[in-house]
Chain A
């Protein structure tokens, strides 16, 4: 990889990646620990002719990026827990109306104002089910700035591929930590362009009529095709309908387009999994501590591996089941009360072999927190 080397915060790495991916419209509202994303973009975007908007709240921010995405732009907003809560209704609108967008949630401790300046991973289930109604969602995360860069570009690509909002679920440690980032050359990471209709002006365009491959070409709002977009159940013209068959097919489509492709959307890092008796499953900043445990345990001759999840939703059940098939002990390492733990227990044959190593006190989980749990499980005491 030949590229520009930088020493940056995670929030800046996210900005670099978003610009690389072609971001040209951002709307947001300042909130710790995500604020640096807005600050950097307010400087960077106009340099490229892009637009930065500081809105009156997170609700408006989410609404504004949806409007801008419809006109054909690559859009993003960034926030933290309280703001992410406010965005949920409009997020559901983007799901329903199938509008690409990237939403960054740099997690703090919750509920409510919680702990703005400290780390947590408590919003995993909110990312999945924060908005009401049946739907599917893509949620990605990362534990290093290089991975964060790649996964941010990925988020934009998946948003376009599936015509869906994609959530980047970071955490305070990743957002504020500084480390090396190599920005790839242009073209090094492929970018997914918006799929636009090839229909000419005057030809009847159906905004929600899928091609044979299931993808639905878009037409820029303000272009030559005039159509309706709504958050109501709708037909292929985008016009409201309560026809039961149509409603059924719409919900199935919204869920299936993502769930059926979970094997394509699943991303992970694997460390020493082949012969591992004990497998740690972690993501985000917690994966850094878990990785440290794996490296030190291996030096001591223990057969410990790490499955680092980079896709949290759709939940990578198949991957977890496959990788954990031979493990005796599985320890989920996360900074919440077991939000990924629940999914792992469902995914594996033997849920009794799954344990939780967690912290919920706003302090980054340390290797010693994990090794202490490992010793207890092994019956070796603290």
Chain B
């Protein structure tokens, strides 16, 4: 099957602006799913609210477009009630880590088998360019007209600390790496987090003089380095790409199955 076989062409064109990185993420994600040869009936996309969350409507899987920040909580219900399904949770940075931050860290703590994808464009795009918890200090936004005094999260560090058993980061420039990471994240048994730096030329770009979509992807090319690279020691502003954590720990649904066995023996 080609990537086109995984999309609902009836619902195109999509809502994303010209130059938005989210289409690249969608392409990369579908390429990964195609590579893995997963059955469409076994895949569920659960998303929240925001530009990124519209991804779920465009794909020909079971798709649940929920409410702002709660995608991981809905996904937990789907996964626990039907553990055989592959659950992919595409979110924006505000969706996943502002309003949804609590659900995010608790799902990581449980190590429930979800693939959380944070499409990080460092801005609230759908509402027109307000700063997010990933914007970072000094950034301009429609709600930070002088400059932003909020510091950003490091999604990878946060996920590792919260207990995620697979944590990776890539960008829309590094599509081959991204596809490779998506494959591993989907196959990983446990809570996996993939942060994708995804450009928003319309709001983040314009507000911060970051240039065109091409310029912003050039930025990803020039300012990110493979994880473990020595260049990081010389320039701490460089952003690391790659897999930060990949470890096997008991998965939540499987742990609950053990509880069921014990309870049935006692009952």
A-B contact pairs, 27 of them (CB 8 A): A46-B264, A47-B267, A51-B256, A56-B106, A59-B103, A60-B70, A60-B73, A63-B66, A63-B70, A63-B74, A63-B76, A64-B73, A66-B77, A67-B46, A67-B74, A67-B75, A67-B77, A67-B79, A67-B81, A70-B64, A222-B44, A222-B78, A226-B60, A226-B61, A229-B63, A230-B57, A239-B57
* Complex alpha-carbon distance, A56 and B80, angstroms: 15
* Complex alpha-carbon distance, A59 and B74, angstroms: 10
* Residues from chain A with Cβ under 8 Å of B79 in the complex: 67
Docked-complex contact A221 and B57, CB < 8 angstroms: no
Q: Does A195 contact B (CB under 8 A)?
A: no
Interface residue total, chain B, C-beta cutoff 8 A: 41
Centre residue among A49, A51, A89, A93 by max chain B CB count within 10 A: A51
* Per-residue contact bits, chain A 201-245, to B (CB 8 Å; 1 contact, 0 not): 000000000000000000001111011111110000001100000
Docked-complex contact A64 and B76, CB < 8 angstroms: yes
Tell me whether A227 and B63 are in contact in the complex, defined as CB-CB below 8 angstroms, given that A51-B80, A55-B73 are known contacts. Answer: yes
* Complex alpha-carbon distance, A64 and B263, angstroms: 22
* Residues from chain B with Cβ under 8 Å of A273 in the complex: none
* Residues from chain A with Cβ under 8 Å of B260 in the complex: 46, 49
Q: Does B11 contact A (CB under 8 A)?
A: yes
* Residues from chain B with Cβ under 8 Å of A49 in the complex: 260, 264
Q: Does B188 contact A (CB under 8 A)?
A: no
Q: Does B56 contact A (CB under 8 A)?
A: yes
* Residues from chain B with Cβ under 8 Å of A223 in the complex: 41
* Residues from chain B with Cβ under 8 Å of A55 in the complex: 73, 76, 106
Q: Does B82 contact A (CB under 8 A)?
A: yes
* Residues from chain B with Cβ under 8 Å of A68 in the complex: 77-78, 80-81
Smallest CB–CB gap between B259 and chain A, Å? 5
Q: Does B102 contact A (CB under 8 A)?
A: yes
Q: Which B residue sits closest to A27, measured CB to CB? A: B77
List the 6 shortest-distance A-B pairs measured between CB atoms, nearest first: A67-B77, A47-B267, A64-B77, A46-B263, A63-B73, A68-B81
* Per-residue contact bits, chain B 76-106, to A (CB 8 Å; 1 contact, 0 not): 1111111011000000000000000011001
Contact of A228 among B63, B67, B259 (CB under 8 A): B63
Docked-complex contact B65 and A232, CB < 8 angstroms: yes
Size range of the chain A interface in the assembly:
35 or more
* Residues from chain A with Cβ under 8 Å of B8 in the complex: 228
* Residues from chain A with Cβ under 8 Å of B42 in the complex: 222
Centre residue among B56, B57, B79 by max chain A CB count within 10 A: B57
Contact of A239 among B11, B60, B64 (CB under 8 A): B11
* Complex alpha-carbon distance, A326 and B106, angstroms: 58
Interface positions, chain A 59-107, Cβ under 8 Å from B, are 59-61, 63-73, 75, 89-90, 93
Docked-complex contact B44 and A60, CB < 8 angstroms: no
Tell me whether A226 and B40 are in contact in the complex, defined as CB-CB below 8 angstroms, given that A55-B73, A60-B76 are known contacts. Answer: yes
* Residues from chain B with Cβ under 8 Å of A51 in the complex: 80-81, 256
* Complex alpha-carbon distance, A257 and B142, angstroms: 43
Residues of A that sit less than 8 Å from B by CB: 25, 27, 43, 46-49, 51, 53, 55-57, 59-61, 63-73, 75, 89-90, 93, 221-224, 226-232, 239-240
Besides A57-B102, A231-B65, 15 other CB < 8 A contacts?
Answer: A25-B80, A25-B81, A46-B262, A49-B264, A55-B76, A60-B73, A63-B74, A64-B80, A67-B76, A67-B77, A68-B81, A222-B41, A223-B41, A228-B57, A239-B57
* Complex alpha-carbon distance, A56 and B102, angstroms: 8
Q: Does B266 contact A (CB under 8 A)?
A: yes
Q: Does B174 contact A (CB under 8 A)?
A: no
Q: Does B227 contact A (CB under 8 A)?
A: no
* Complex alpha-carbon distance, A228 and B60, angstroms: 9
Smallest CB–CB gap between A86 and chain B, Å? 11
Interface positions, chain B 209-267, Cβ under 8 Å from A, are 256, 259-260, 262-264, 266-267
* Complex alpha-carbon distance, A27 and B259, angstroms: 16
Contact of B44 among A59, A221, A231 (CB under 8 A): A221
Q: Does B62 contact A (CB under 8 A)?
A: yes
* Complex alpha-carbon distance, A239 and B75, angstroms: 19
Docked-complex contact A53 and B76, CB < 8 angstroms: yes
Tell me whether A47 and B82 are in contact in the complex, defined as CB-CB below 8 angstroms, given that A27-B77, A56-B102, A221-B64 are known contacts. Answer: no
